[in-house]
Amino acid sequence: MPTRVPAVEGWFTPGEGATAALVGSRCTTCGTYAFPAEAHYCRNPDCDGQEFETVELSRRGKIWSYTDARYQPPPPYVAADPYVPFCLAAVELAAEKLVVMGQVVGGVTVDDLKVGDEVELVVDTLYSEGDTDYLVWKWQPIAADRSD
Amino acid sequence: MPDDKRVAVLGAGMHPWGKWGRPFVEYGLVAARDALADAGLTWRDIQFVSGADTIRNGYPGFVAGATFAQALGWTGARVSSCYAACASGAAAIGNARAQILAGLCDVALVVGADTTPKGFFAPVGGGDRKDDPDWLRFHLLGATNPTYFALYARRRMDRFGATEEDFAQVKVKNARHGLANPYARYRSEVSVDEVLSSPMVADPLRLLEICATSDGGAALVLTSMDFARRHGGGADPAVTINAVSTVTPSFPNTVIEMPNFSTDSAVAFSSEWDSGAGFRPSITAAAYAEAGIGPEDLDLAEVYDLSAALELDWYEDIGLCGQGEAEKLLRDGVTSLGGRVPVNPSGGLSCFGEAIPAQAIAQVCECVWQLRGTAQGHQVEGARVAATANQGLFGHGSSVILAR
């Protein structure tokens, strides 16, 4: 059983399946969200807020746009050998009014995606080294067989 | 326009773009010497050297102004070196212009040059840098620069019905524009079929629609209006820079941009959500305001076609047409040589590739030659007003407006 370790600390909950969520911040003064989390200054130029609560962001959103990576990205991306292309999506989170990037889970091609499609967050393996799986957040299309 | 808002462009020079693999300083010196000769001035006449930095060529690249000054021979000229991602060249122009307009110097040399690695741009420097978003976007997402260009392209297809053929037609136009440009790296016609049969890199963008990384160098000699008249025997200078915009985005920036993982959150500014405006329109808007003109006054524009699809976004962002109307502008030939307002008559990044700190300077060089009427083989007839537009990562962008 491989050890499972986040590829980056504190950006998403360690939970899996229906409990996985991105971890961002919310300014306690003006309500502005940030991902990754802000700890010192609010990005709203009209806000002096310096206190932030850690929040889990909406687990579901709609695809703002999407693409794929047909060629292996350069390091520090750690690619499988042989390289397997993957899709990426920028996803609108309505409650937070922001768009977050992420890879799309394996096995999905651009032909399976449309702008406006609903996706949900999962935690999945980004790469493996030795006995360790390094984890990252990914977007998973919601049941493609569901009627639109 | 009053003199206190303008600087004269007395000289422009470039080293051809290519993949030469030689030290960047060589390209910068060729461009600088050409610009000085073009101005009818010597290196000793230069009071201020403004360098645009390259971050892929070690310490000399981080202090480009001094590197070029030393290579030309120390003269005691004052110096600045600046980095502003793809807008570095325009930032260097802005620094020189500010010195001149403040009356601190009369004659300035602006130089930018780059030597680039092959393939995708990767983050600069080694080691694990988990506090650097540019490192993290490669590590956590495998998000290259074309990833972001492709997100915009797909969005354009979804919102406005743009087609793969529209994107290919931009490439076909720019390839034709660059045919006779002696400084362009790629000088051959391509057909829509050739573009659409080139390998898909980041769906929907194909290899021939994505800007390459190039070596190159560009330089300008800028002076005060008074100096230009004295130097020119009392005549007004042929070409002036009337505005330089190097604005940053305005919060909330709701369009995803390199190298970010997310946009700003618009919860405190609900009306900004879904406006789709983003950063780019504000870049030229600031330049138009400073120059006291509007997009209807342009005779040509050089815009940053990092992808063929992005050129269509720029048509709208610089105000040539409304949102969703760029494809029609292209199809009607408005932006082709011979059209009402040719875009990228130089051939653009499509024919040059990108030599980062030199590119925004090269855009201005092209405008200078167009306004002088010396852009042989790709001249916009009777051009009087030209604009450049450019955008890079970390909130950088630029627009320069020139007139004769």
CATH assignment of the domain containing A103: 2.40.50
* Residue-wise DSSP of A73-94: PPTTS---SS---EEEEEEEET
**Do B219 and B205 form a contact (C-beta atoms < 8 A)?**
no
Q: Closest-CA residue in chain B for A47?
A: B268
Domains of chain B plus CATH, in order, are 3-118+215-240 (3.40.47.10), 140-206+242-403 (3.40.47.10)
Residue A124, in any domain of the structure: yes
- For residue B135, list chain A residues with Cβ-Cβ distance below 8 A: 76
Q: How many residues does chain A have?
A: 148
Q: What angle do CA B309, B328, B184 make, to 5 degrees?
A: 45
pLDDT digit string (tens) for chain B, length 404 residues? 887 899 999 999 999 999 999 999 999 999 999 999 999 999 999 999 999 999 999 999 999 999 999 999 999 999 999 999 999 999 999 999 999 999 999 999 999 999 998 877 888 877 888 889 999 999 999 999 999 999 999 999 999 999 999 999 999 999 999 999 999 999 999 999 999 999 999 999 999 999 999 999 999 999 999 999 999 999 999 999 999 999 999 999 999 999 999 999 999 987 666 666 789 999 999 999 999 999 999 999 999 999 999 999 999 999 999 999 999 999 999 999 999 999 999 999 999 999 999 999 999 999 999 999 999 999 999 999 999 999 999 999 999 999 99
CB contact under 8 A, A34 and B139: no
User: Given this model, what pLDDT does residue B119 score?
Assistant: 77
Candidate from A75, A101, A115 with C-beta closest to B262: A101
- List Cβ neighbours of B259 (8 Å cut-off, separation of 6 or more): B133, B134, B136, B137, B143, B393, B394
Strands of B141-290, DSSP E: 200-202, 205-206, 215-223, 240-245
Q: Work out the minimum CA distance from B359 to partner chain A, whole angstroms.
A: 24
CB contact under 8 A, A7 and B139: yes
Residue A100, in any domain of the structure: yes
**Do B81 and B55 form a contact (C-beta atoms < 8 A)?**
no
Residue A16 has pLDDT above 70, yes or no: no
User: Given this model, what pLDDT does residue B169 score?
Assistant: 98
For residue A148, how many C-alpha atoms fall within 13 Å in the half-sphere facing its CB? 5
**Do B64 and B80 form a contact (C-beta atoms < 8 A)?**
no
Residues of chain B numbered 11-30 and touching chain A (CB < 8 Å): none
User: Which of B265, B269, B313, B393 has the highest number of chain A CBs within 10 A, making it the mutation to test binding with A?
Assistant: B265
> Number of Cβ pairs closer than 8 Å across A and B?
140
**Do A93 and A80 form a contact (C-beta atoms < 8 A)?**
no
Which residue from B325, B327, B345 is spatially nearest to B336, judged by alpha carbons?
B345
Residue A75, in any domain of the structure: yes
Residues of chain B numbered 196-215 and touching chain A (CB < 8 Å): 199-205
Is the minimum CB–CB distance between B142 and chain A shorter than 8 Å? yes
- End-to-end C-alpha distance for chain B, whole angstroms: 11
**Mean per-residue pLDDT, A2-9:** 93
Residue A65, in any domain of the structure: yes
Return d(Cα B114, Cα B124) in angstroms, integer.
Answer: 14
Helical H segments across B115-261, by residue range? 133-136, 145-160, 164-178, 192-196, 225-231
Strands of B224-350, DSSP E: 240-245, 300-303
Residue A146 has pLDDT above 60, yes or no: no
Return d(Cα B384, Cα B6) in angstroms, integer.
Answer: 15
Q: Work out the minimum CA distance from B310 to partner chain A, whole angstroms.
A: 15
Angle between helix axes B356-372 and B88-101 (nearest 10 degrees) is 60
- 3-state class of A5 per DSSP? strand
Longest dimension (CA), chain A: 50
CB contact under 8 A, A97 and B266: yes
Residue corresponding to tokens 């709701």: B254
Q: In angstroms, what CA-CA distances link B334 with A9, B4, B9, B338, B377?
A: 51, 34, 28, 8, 18
- List Cβ neighbours of B124 (8 Å cut-off, separation of 6 or more): B55, B56, B134
User: Which of B155, B262, B272, B274 has the highest number of chain A CBs within 10 A, making it the mutation to test binding with A?
Assistant: B262
- For residue A90, list chain B residues with Cβ-Cβ distance below 8 A: 151, 256
What are the backbone angles phi and psi of residue B291, rounded to the nearest 5°?
-85, -10
Residue A66, in any domain of the structure: yes
Q: Closest-CA residue in chain A for B276?
A: A64
Q: Work out the minimum CA distance from B123 to partner chain A, whole angstroms.
A: 8
- For residue B118, list chain A residues with Cβ-Cβ distance below 8 A: none
Residue corresponding to tokens 């855009």: B363
Q: Closest-CA residue in chain B for A77?
A: B139
**Mean per-residue pLDDT, A47-64:** 96
User: Given this model, what pLDDT does residue B42 score?
Assistant: 98
Q: Closest-CA residue in chain A for B138?
A: A77
CB contact under 8 A, B203 and A110: yes
Split at pLDDT 50, 70, 90, the class of A147 is very low
Residue A34, in any domain of the structure: no
CB contact under 8 A, B262 and A34: yes
pLDDT in tens, B277-287: 789 999 999 99
Candidate from B154, B200, B261 with C-beta closest to A65: B154
Angle between helix axes B145-160 and B308-317 (nearest 10 degrees) is 60
Which residue from B84, B50, B75 is spatially nearest to B64, judged by alpha carbons?
B50
Q: Which tokens belong to B26?
A: 């060589």
Candidate from B150, B159, B266 with C-beta closest to A67: B150
- Count up the domains in chain A and report the number: 1
Residue corresponding to tokens 């082709």: B336
**Do A123 and A136 form a contact (C-beta atoms < 8 A)?**
yes
What are the backbone angles phi and psi of residue B82, rounded to the nearest 5°?
-140, 150
Return d(Cα B177, Cα B154) in angstroms, integer.
Answer: 26
Helical H segments across B232-279, by residue range? none
Q: Closest-CA residue in chain A for B121?
A: A74
pLDDT in tens, B188-203: 999 999 999 999 999 9
CB contact under 8 A, A88 and B263: no
Q: Which tokens belong to B43?
A: 């290196």
Amino acid making up residue B13: G
Residues of chain B numbered 272-291 and touching chain A (CB < 8 Å): 273
Candidate from B123, B140, B265 with C-beta closest to A126: B140
User: What helix, strand, coil percent values describe chain A, rounded to 5?
Assistant: 5, 45, 50
pLDDT in tens, B109-145: 999 999 998 877 888 877 888 889 999 999 999 999 9
Range of the domain at A69: 58-141
Return d(Cα B4, Cα B7) in angstroms, integer.
Answer: 8
Q: Return the bridge partners of B50, or none.
A: B80, B110
pTM: 0.96
Q: Are strands B385-392 and B300-303 parallel, antiparallel or unpaired?
A: parallel
Return d(Cα B141, Cα A101) in angstroms, integer.
Answer: 8
- 3-state class of B173 per DSSP? helix
CB contact under 8 A, A101 and B141: yes
